[in-house]
Amino acid sequence: MSVIETLDTPSLVALLAALLRERQWTMASAESCTGGLIAGACTDLAGSSDWFERGFVTYSNAAKTELLGVDAGLIAIHGAVSEPVVRAMVAGALAHSPAQVSVAVTGVAGPAGGSAEKPVGTVWFGWSVPGQLRSERRRFDGDRAAVRAAAVHYALQALVQLIRNTSP
């Protein structure tokens, strides 16, 4: 287990802030199932306006299309909780902001809304840093609050690792 994996969310945010400041980068978030909790975790840290540029809460499919430019056809074909949609969300956050780094999350937090293909706890993540766009699917156990908290923590943890592996 790496040191990053043992950090709590506020400690991850502090590390993320230091990495972004060091590179003179800013970030944007695009959130569906987490409903702004990533942006909230980031802006809980005093001085976050130095590195946190903006957050998009795009809970509805229409919001994903209107605010991030996600193609409605992509949502119709793959569903909102899918790799193509999260990749479009993360790209849209960058396209609609001056940020260099973005994170996107879409998932099924529960307690309802799951299916055999996308059970409750399924979350798609997208991250973009200069020169790289990455996506990943995870499944978290627990109630709605636990799934959302785990998604926030994992999104930040993976973003920190990705930035650390990217040259400034």
Q: What is the pLDDT of residues 15-46, one digit of tens each?
A: 999 999 999 999 999 999 999 999 999 999 99
Give the domains, in start order, of the chain with CATH numbers.
3-164 (3.90.950.20)
167/19 Cα distance (integer angstroms): 11
Burial label, 127 (beta-carbon count in 10 A; 0-12, 13-18, 19+):
buried
Given the structure tokens 């950090």, which residue do they identify?
Answer: 7
Contact by Cβ (8 Å): 80, 106: yes
Mean of the pLDDT values across residues 62-70? Answer: 98
Q: What is the pLDDT of residues 83-142, one digit of tens each?
A: 999 999 999 999 999 999 999 999 999 988 888 889 989 999 999 999 999 999 999 999
Predicted local confidence at residue 20, as pLDDT: 98
> What does the DSSP 8-state code read for residue 128?
E
| Cα–Cα distance for residue pair 67/3, rounded to 1 Å | 36
